[in-house]
Structure 1
C-alpha cells in the first residue's frame, strides 16, 4: 500500500534491533523506511498524512510517522524517538498500565498534542517457565544446568570461536527455528541430568502460555512506562494545559509522572542556558570594548539584544513553532550577528567623530552610510533562510523552527540597528563624556 502512494520509490523494513547498534527498538517493534523518488515533486506533509491514515486502519498496530534525521537526533538527545515523553514511575506494574491508559486518553483530547503513542498497551504472547524445586530434586537436575539448557535452546549463546582469514569468528549455538516455534517445542527441550542423559523440560517445570506486558523498564529504581507525543503549538501553553488535565486524574499514591524526551532535556537545559547567554554576553562585551576602545559603547550594542530576541520569539509565536535545542543554538547565533551590525555602525560613528563631527552628525552619517550595505547583506541572508522557514526540501521538521527564529531575529536586528541603536547612542552621550575612552586613558 505504501509503494502505491505517489512519490514513493522504495520501502525498507527492519524488525527489532541488532546487537551493538544505535537502534533502540525492541523485538516487538519495527521500522519502515520510505525512500522518495528523485524528482523532488512530492508533498511530504500530504504523504505523512496518508501514512498516518494507513496506520490507523491497521488493528493491533501503533505507529508514528517521522523523518529519519529528526528521529535520530531526538533519540541521541533523549533516548526517545519523539520530542516529548510522559514517563510514569511506580512499583506495581498493573497500576502503571492503568494510569498510563488514563494519561493516554487525556492526552488525546488536548489540543496541541499529536501522535500520542503508548507502545506498551498491546499485550504480547508469552511462554512462562517456572522450575519446580521438588521435581528438580526428584529427577536429580541442577537448577543452573536447567536454566542454561533453556537459554541455549531458545536464545542461543556463543560457545567458541574459530579463526578465518586471520579474524576470529564466533560460533553461535541455538535450536533451529522449527524446533522452537511454540509451547510444545518448549516442553520438549532436553534438560541434562546429573547422572547423565537428559529428560524433557515438562518433567521438571510448569510451562504456560499467556498474554503479558511487552516490556518492563526500570528507571531510578522504579518500574517505568513512557508515552511519546509531538507538540503542535506553543510548548508552554500545551504543557500548562496538560498539567491542568493530569491534576484532575486520580492515581495511586506511589505513581509519579515526569516529562521526558527532548522537552525534558530542554527543561534541564533552560537553567543552564541562562549562564551560557550570560557568558556569551560578557565575552561579546569584552570583544566590543577592545574593538571600540570604549567601555560604554558595548552596552549600547548589547542593549538592543532583548528587542532582537523579541523579534525572534514573535516569529516563533505567530507561526506556532515549538522550541527545541536548535532554537537555543539559533539564539546564540543571533547574538553574534546582531552585535556585528552594531559594532560596524559605532565604528563608523567613532571615525566620523575623530574627523571633527559632533555626536548627532556622526551617528546620523554612520547610519546613513551603513544602511544600504546592511540591508543588502541581511536581505541575502533572509532570502537564503526562506526555504528552511517555509519547510521546503528535506528535513523541514528539524530546520523550520531554526529558520523561522533566525528570520524574525535578523529582521528585528536590522530594524533596531538602524533605529534604536542611534537613539541609545545619543541617550548615553552625556555618560560618554564622563567615562573617557580607553585610547584617551592610554594617551
Structure 2
C-alpha cells in the first residue's frame, strides 16, 4: 500500500519503461479536474559509472565475461582478501583502487584485462564506459517493481476522479505486455471498506429477515418489510445529492443504521396492526387504526433523529468530511421515512394481505 489520498502505481520489470509510463500518466493527471499536489515518487538520480560489455569484442580475444566482471568488481567495489585478528575483534581487509582512480572515467577505461594469449587489453576496448544515473532505490510491491504518482483530491469526490483518470489513461497510455496500472492510497482503502460494508449489509438484511420471520411467524410479512427497505434509502440518496455528498464509508454506515431504525418502526407498526386484526377488526380498519395509533411514536422517533443530525450536517471544519455524509443520510432518510414509509407501509400491508386473503378464500371455495 501507499500513503496519500490517491496514488497511481505502474508495475513492470524494465525501469526505463516504468519511467516513461509514469511521465505520460503525470501529464494526463495534470489535466484531470480536482487533482492537486501532484508529484512523482523520487527514486532516481544517483550518479553511476556504467560499464556495458561488448561481448563480440570479448569473444574475439577469447576473454570470458566473468574475468572482466571480476576485474571491474575488484577495481571499483573491492573484494575481501583476508582478515586481521586482534584480541577483541576481527578486521576484514578490502582490496580495491584508490578513490582518485575509481572516480576517474579515463583511468577506469585504461584498466588492463588479461587475454588467454598473454595480451593485456584496455577495458575501453571491451566495453562502453559512460556516466549515467540510476535509481536511489528500487521499490517493489507483491514482488514486482513499481513507480507511482501521489496527489490530493480537491473539490470533487475521489471515485469520480479515479473513473475519469482511468478512462483517459486507458485511451492514451499503451503499456507492453506484463505491465499494468493500479490506483491506491486512501482510495484503495476506501474501496476495500466499501466492499466489506456491502457484504456486511447483505448479512444484516439476512439476520433481520430471520428475526422478523421468528417474530411474526409469517414469511409474507417478513418479506414485506425487507422488500420495502429501498423506500428508506430513497430519501437518503436525495439528501446526499442535495448536499453534494457521495456514497462513501461514512454514508454507508449511515445507510445501515437508517435501515435498522426504519425496520424497527415497521415492526412496531405491523405488530400493532396484527393486534387489531386479532381483536376482531377487518383488514382496512386494522390498518387505519394501527397506523394512527403508532403515527405519533414513529414520527417523534424520526423527528428526534433529524434534529439531532442537523448540527453535524451544517458543521464545517476538521472531521466534517466524515460526519457530514452520515448526517445527510440520517436527515434525508428519516424525512423520506416520514413522507413515504409511513404511508407506503400501511398501504402495502393492506394490498398484500388482501391479495393473500382473497386467494385463501378462493382456495377454500
Structure holding more helix per residue? 2
* Residue 13 of structure 2, aligned match among 79, 88, 91: 91
* Residue 411 of structure 1, aligned match among 335, 347, 351: 335
Structure 1 equivalent of residue 211 of structure 2: 287
CA contact (8 A) 2:13 2:144 kept: yes
CA contact (8 A) 2:35 2:154 kept: yes
Counterparts of residues 35-434 of structure 1 (less than 5 Å) = 79-82=2-5, 84-111=6-33, 113-120=34-41, 126=46, 133-134=70-71, 142-143=79-80, 192-193=92-93, 202=99, 205-206=102-103, 215-228=137-150, 229-230=152-153, 232-233=155-156, 237-254=160-177, 255-267=179-191, 273-433=197-357
The separation in 1 between residues aligned to 2:170 and 2:77, in whole angstroms, is 57
Give the TM-score of the pair, scaled to structure 2. Answer: 0.70
Q: Which runs of 5+ in 1 are unaligned?
A: 1-77, 147-190, 437-443
SS of match in other structure, 1:296: helix
* Distance verdict in 2 for CA 1:311–1:217, change over 3 Å: farther
CA contact (8 A) 2:231 2:341 kept: no
Shift of 1:426: 0.9
The separation in 1 between residues aligned to 2:145 and 2:10, in whole angstroms, is 8
The separation in 2 between residues aligned to 1:291 and 1:145, in whole angstroms, is 84
SS of match in other structure, 2:357: helix
State the structure with bigger RCO (CA 8 A, min sep 6), 1 or 2: 2
Shift of 1:341: 1.0
The separation in 2 between residues aligned to 1:317 and 1:80, in whole angstroms, is 29
CA contact (8 A) 2:254 2:329 kept: yes
Q: Deviations over 1:114-172 (max 9, x none)?
A: 32522425x776466999953775899644999xxxxxxxxxxxxxxxxxxxxxxxxxx
Shift of 1:397: 1.8
CA contact (8 A) 2:44 2:135 kept: yes
Measured on the aligned residues, the alpha-carbon RMSD in Å equals: 3.9
CA contact (8 A) 2:79 2:96 kept: no
* Distance verdict in 2 for CA 1:223–1:300, change over 3 Å: same
The separation in 1 between residues aligned to 2:149 and 2:75, in whole angstroms, is 47
The separation in 1 between residues aligned to 2:103 and 2:337, in whole angstroms, is 73
Q: Deviations over 1:84-113 (max 9, x none)?
A: 3322112222332332222223223223x3
The separation in 2 between residues aligned to 1:252 and 1:220, in whole angstroms, is 19
Q: Deviations over 1:355-383 (max 9, x none)?
A: 22222222222222222222222222222
Shift of 1:337: 1.3
The separation in 2 between residues aligned to 1:248 and 1:375, in whole angstroms, is 52
Structure 2 equivalent of residue 164 of structure 1: none
Q: Deviations over 1:313-369 (max 9, x none)?
A: 232233332333233322222221110111111111112222222222222222222
Shift of 1:433: 3.3
SS of match in other structure, 1:276: helix
* Distance verdict in 2 for CA 1:245–1:433, change over 3 Å: same
The separation in 2 between residues aligned to 1:299 and 1:250, in whole angstroms, is 50
SS of match in other structure, 2:345: helix
